[in-house]
Amino acid sequence: MHRNNSAVAIWLLACCVMVAVMVLLGGLTRLTHSGLSMVEWEPIVGIIPPLNEAEWQIFFAKYQQSPEYLKINAGMPLSDFKGIFWLEYIHRVWGRLIGIVFLLPFLWLSLSGRISRTMVPRLIGMFLLGAAQGGMGWFMVKSGLVDNPHVSHMRLTAHLALAFLIHGWMFWMALDLLAGGRPRPAALNGAGGVSRWLKLLIALVVVTLLYGGLVAGLRAGLIYNTWPLMDGSLIPGGLFEEGWIAGFEDIKTVQFLHRCLAEATVLVAVGGWLWARARLGGDLPAAVNAVVLMALAQVALGVATLLMVVPVSVASAHQMGAMALLTLCLWAVHDLRRRSRGGASLYQSQ
């Protein structure tokens, strides 16, 4: 492998890990109701936390004017405020750190000629998307600083989707770079068909995780905590009573759709794997086997989250399971793409 490709790939994979940690922190912030503890967005000076008791009182006084304090946490002592503040603070600072870890190596690698000209526009696009993600985060938080002390579930889902997009884009480029200098694998008959199945699975995974964001934003996981029955029936009554908008706004309808999508995802994963196994036998790549195992684990985590009424640890694992499943799907598709095309890589010529 060309050493330049290796260095850039390792850097991108490190950024992928940091984005994954960011998603974990974001989930913990939401689950512990910490996200509205910081009522201002100061991208530069906001990196400095309160350093003494007087500064803590200033931050707390600002929070005491927020709808969340007035309508939900009235009477909260300063000690409890510090608990929710620190998690949101770490979440925001980690986002800034990702920007630094991306930008500084990008400039150094570019100026030293280790990044090809064809890659530069894509990497700039990634950085701009990351900056937009920071803005989207504040846009989401602002929705909870008005009369209703809950962030918009639509904005929360958009914020989550951007994180997955950034992670997936960087991961795919890193795979391309890692593959660029490897020997071309032997062509695998049937790899194209298996790849098409995995692309369908990716589409289902993406839609399911977006609905997971809607469920989280609406706190829909706190009701109808039974499975496989929901409200005593496989198909509960009262769905789509407000028309198609209920699929995005009604708690019951949104949770039902998320369930259906998750069940469809695991059925497509298992059914497709059995078909691929019959088609390729022992030549089936390890990444494809990992996909179906992760799909089974993810649906188990989802059911556990529901039945246990959204405990923080299990719900966080479920959110990270979605990222792991999407990452494995991308890895499997990339592997099959190389096998069906004889190892061609987008950045092979670098």
Which segments in the chain show pLDDT lower than 50? 1, 342-350
- Statement to judge: residues 125 and 47 lie in one domain: yes
d(C-alpha 198, C-alpha 273), whole Å: 9
Tell me what pLDDT residue 183 has.
Answer: 56
- Statement to judge: residues 102 and 246 lie in one domain: no
pTM summary value? 0.92
d(C-alpha 164, C-alpha 329), whole Å: 13
Q: Are 171 and 16 in contact (CB under 8 A)?
A: yes
Query: What DSSP assignment string belongs to 198-261?
Result: HHHHHHHHHHHHHHHHHHHHHTGGGS---SS-BTTBSS-SSTTTTGGGHHHH-HHHHHHHHHHH
The residue out of 140, 162, 182 marking a domain boundary is: 182
> What are the φ and ψ backbone dihedral angles of 230, each rounded to 5 degrees?
-130, 120
Tell me what pLDDT residue 345 has.
Answer: 46
d(C-alpha 23, C-alpha 316), whole Å: 9
DSSP state of 185: P
Domain that holds residue 6: 1-182
Counting the structural domains of the chain, the total is 2
Tell me what pLDDT residue 232 has.
Answer: 93
The residue out of 182, 217, 250 marking a domain boundary is: 182
Crossing angle of the two packed helices 191-218 and 251-280, in degrees rounded to 10: 160
Tell me what pLDDT residue 338 has.
Answer: 81
Tell me what pLDDT residue 348 has.
Answer: 43
Tell me what pLDDT residue 1 has.
Answer: 43
The residue out of 157, 182, 207 marking a domain boundary is: 182
Tell me what pLDDT residue 185 has.
Answer: 60
Report percent pLDDT > 70 for the chain. 94
Tell me what pLDDT residue 285 has.
Answer: 87
Tell me what pLDDT residue 123 has.
Answer: 96
